[in-house]
Structure 1
């Protein structure tokens, strides 16, 4: 196994505070943008992968796909570039963990579970509006932010996103249905059962799922 490179102290204008996690696309850090004096989530790929044209393409595609979206339920991308051979994406830091982590600590209240999925559907509706299919909707890619008594869900990680034509929005809608099954495994209202049945078949749009769950 190739050892991981040491965590850098800084990259361009970013001062790196701590490692948040590592996945298939690279390592994510809590960093400070010293130009604007704000915390960001800074995703880096390893130096050896920076020379892989396919990996570079995938990394850049994630940045462009997310940057094209304008939704309160999609993680914002602030910058994308390369410093000293290190590719990076600087994006909104969502501090309260992901849905997968929340579920490992216990089931969500039913009303919160429905609201979270409706918010993810809202983010997907915006993605589909501009022609982007996420293709990887799952609990670990749903980040949660506490705002007083409220919880806001934000869709993250467009690393394997595709343009409509290469992939179908129905793929995301079916994933949304599986997400709904995961967060609400017990008793479901008639509305939720109806939405779930239709979404598993990929029939409604993400916007229709959002509107039905929010009703």
Structure 2
């Protein structure tokens, strides 16, 4: 961090290259999800109704199909348990119409730029989640952005519609947990070392592909 606030200057040697300055924001109580491909809960809903969060999609799409254009599919922001997909109209009721319009537009803009960059580096960003908050009355992006924890990253050279895709994200952990006899109520089962190691390797590969740097 440069420069450090005066209060922290005495600790500069300890904080150098391992600290960040943050702002305390009031989070909006919706998740801002953008989907460019049909996967996960979106694929499950499409099979039932040919919609995702109220957005009507073309017929005869298959798992992992690229959508005609990215769609904004908000969800509730649950304190515990799983988020629930909602329509844009429901999101507007929660945060207000003006704010809902703004976060939808920003989410789609950020995703579009990011997926173009990622595709040039051999990665498809199938979908991602953004969070926004208010700081001194201003709408700002908060929390993590475009990480393997908040996005689906697929290797572009292995992309094949009609099936689930190999990935560089936490889907590997999800798939492992699906093999267990667990009712999905916290606490989650402890992950074995080999699952942790393989997940770490996937995250590192995504980083190296996207940045051209090694760790």
Relative to the length of structure 1, the TM-score reads 0.27
Structure number with larger C-alpha Rg = 2
**What is the TM-score of this pair, normalised by structure 2?**
0.27
| Higher percent of residues as strand | 1
Higher-RCO chain (CA-CA 8 Å, sequence separation at least 6): 2
